Chain A
Amino acid sequence: MKVLELNNVHKIYNSSEVKVHAVNGISIDFEQGEFTAIVGPSGSGKTTLLNMIGGLDNPTEGQILVDKTNLSTLKSSKLIDFRMKNIGFVFQSYNLIPVLTAKENVEFIMNLQKWPKKERQERTLELLNAVGLGDRINSRPSKLSGGQQQRVAVARALASKPKFILADEPTANLDSKSTETLIEIMETLNKEENITFIFSTHDARVVKRARRVVTIEDGKILTDERIEKR
């Protein structure tokens, strides 16, 4: 089942006299349950692409359909609401709310969606256990390592049961051991819960674990490789 469809997507930045074609006519589909790595050198358009997929940026041209909803047609407030319900984000620098505990950070999005307290607490515990942080639920981000913070971020991204999770270089700030743990958790969630992950990365070890690798350069797709058996 297609969860995401990009049709001839372009993104052009016009800064004074320089015109930058960051994404240049990308068309691609993503199926439910895929574990996709988007790779490419710096400036190839990975982040711009992910931002547009996540509805944080609008394409200059083309369509992005999430579950058949064209993101460009949504008004700002509807788009925010759509993002909250359908898309999970994991950022390179974790971006947890520093004054909230791990549990509160995960609960935050469910609070915004006004989940009943009991369900909220159960899901938070379930997710933090799934990322191996069941014993750190009351720790603030400052008391957690980078890897642990990123695991909380993954749990937060999963909180509202999104259609897919976008992760922009999720392991860029992590050491090899933390990278390994995070990827393992993401893989497990993908395999066991059929959660769709789309992540950009530079890291060869992470690329090796992906089941689909899309390489882009100069805003265009160079290769799109599905690796069935890992």
Chain B
Amino acid sequence: MVVIVSITIGVFAGVFAVGLMVGTLDQRMDAALNKELAHIHINHKNFNDNYDINLTLENTEAINSQVMKIEGVEALANRIVISAMANTATKSMGIQLIGINPEQEKAILDLNESIIPGTGSYFEKESRSNLAFIGQDLAKELNIIRFKIESSTIDSLKRKKVPEEVLIKLEPYIGKRFASQKAFTNEMKKALTSMESHSYGKIILDESWSFRARSKMTLTFLDKNNVQTGGMFRIAGVYDIKNSMYEKINVFVLSSDLARLAAIGPSDYHQTIIKINDPEKAKEIAALIAENNKDLEVRTWKEISPELAMMVGMLEKFNTVFMVLILAALSFGIVNTMLMVVLERTKELGMLTAIGMNKKKVFSMIMSESIFLSMVGGIVGMIVSALMLKLTSTNGINFESATEGLEAMGFTAHIYPSVPGSFFVTVTILIIITGILSSIYPALKALKLDPAEALRTE
């Protein structure tokens, strides 16, 4: 029983931890490919050196039609990319200004679905002013988001089970506005105990911010002729993709607005992003495009984000290594328990040898018992893991306290664990190997028992 329970717990811990890792990376991959990067980027071959505004793609139309003919390519979108400064009355930030055609982009990235409700839309409303679609973290940095506790905030915190004594402490702040997150957090720290801020700070922060409707910011950059230019942009909407770095840097505007302000031609673009049907074919397709366009730089998502490619490559090996380590630790438990079994059953083993059970049979009996125990423990562990994974993969697990750190690295704190089916096969094989290896020593011990002596033991 001890063996079964310890293996069950070990396998569960291993599989579930791997599930969390796979889930985290899957989500990161999903976010990277479907919200941030797409699969392939095409630029002028020197564009990425210094983002020179004049290094546009030559004959975008021709490239577009050529790329769309390649099998596996699903969609493409052309972009203008300019380094710029974003300014509000209180703050300035260096950003990357991306001029897009929203309809083209929607076919590739689902950034439009990551809009924070109540902050506007993804260029859906006609406007006379220039529009910008910005990230939540940039909005915070530029103080476009403000913090204010209202009666409705208190009600909603009450619904989220924030204790009454905390809510009472918040009441004096009703109606008071804070221009920045820092000012708000500092004030909350004064009002609440450190325990309370730790437990409820994040939830209070989430409930208290609101977007300043019709906020504007100035975007300044150098135009085609290296003359400083820019314009006033109204915030069309704020997106949240749980990646602070990306949100702080990438500001989307309409390519028509940007082309006009930067004095570049209406069909001049710096970048084409491509979506293909299988991310693994990116290299093949990129090579095909590069072959026909020697003066272009064609990069796959693995080249654009090598750290992501490395993580994907390492994950599978790492998962197996992780399970091997867990099972190696467990094998000591199995060896110990089986030695105890041999010790407890010394008399029985002595009797079996006395009445004629040969060494081969005694050996295989102990071996098969260990393997059986390991397998039962393993299977139960895998069933428990599968159930837990099923349970948590629907609603996910929220590592709220680590949100800031995780999002800074581009990972979401709300993780939906998942494990590929093949991993269960690997685990089964590993458990059988563990069972076999860890039963050899106890089985050899059993063989060395002297039947006459064994029968004398009490």
Contact = CB atoms under 8 A, between A and B. Distances in A.
Interface of A: 51, 54, 56-57, 76-77, 80-81, 83-85, 89, 91, 93, 95, 97-98, 108-109, 112-113, 156-157, 160
Interface in B351-397: 351-359, 361
B359 A97 contact: no
A56 B354 contact: yes
B224 to A, nearest CB: 88
Interface in B434-458: 451-452, 455
Contacts of A54: 354
A77 B359 contact: yes
B354 A83 contact: yes
A54 B351 CA distance: 12
Nearest to B353: A80
Given A81-B356, A84-B356, A109-B356, 18 more contacts: A51-B452, A54-B354, A56-B451, A80-B356, A83-B354, A83-B356, A84-B355, A84-B357, A89-B355, A93-B347, A95-B347, A95-B348, A95-B351, A95-B455, A98-B348, A112-B361, A156-B355, A157-B355
Contacts of A108: 355
Given A51-B452, A56-B451, A56-B452, A81 B358 contact: yes
Contacts of A56: 354, 451-452, 455
A56 to B, nearest CB: 4
Contact of B355 (A51, A98, A109): A109
B288 to A, nearest CB: 67
A112 B361 CA distance: 9
A80 B455 contact: no
Nearest to A96: B351
Contacts, number: 47
Contacts of B452: 51, 56-57
A199 B354 CA distance: 16
Contacts of A83: 354-356
A157 B351 CA distance: 11
B351 A91 contact: yes
A51 B353 CA distance: 13
A84 B357 CA distance: 8
Nearest to B362: A80
A80 B358 contact: yes
Nearest to B454: A56
A93 B348 CA distance: 11
B455 A91 contact: yes
Q: Which of A93, A95, A113 has the most CB of B within 10 A?
A: A95
A22 B256 CA distance: 108
Contact of B348 (A51, A97, A113): A97
Contacts of B351: 89, 91, 95
Contacts of A85: 356
Interface string B250-292: 0000000000000000000000000000000000000000000
Contacts of B348: 95, 97-98
Contacts of B361: 112
A83 B356 CA distance: 6
A207 B125 CA distance: 111
B358 A77 contact: yes
B190 to A, nearest CB: 69
Shortest Cβ-Cβ A-B pairs, 4 listed: A84-B356, A95-B351, A56-B452, A57-B452
A112 B356 CA distance: 8
A96 to B, nearest CB: 9
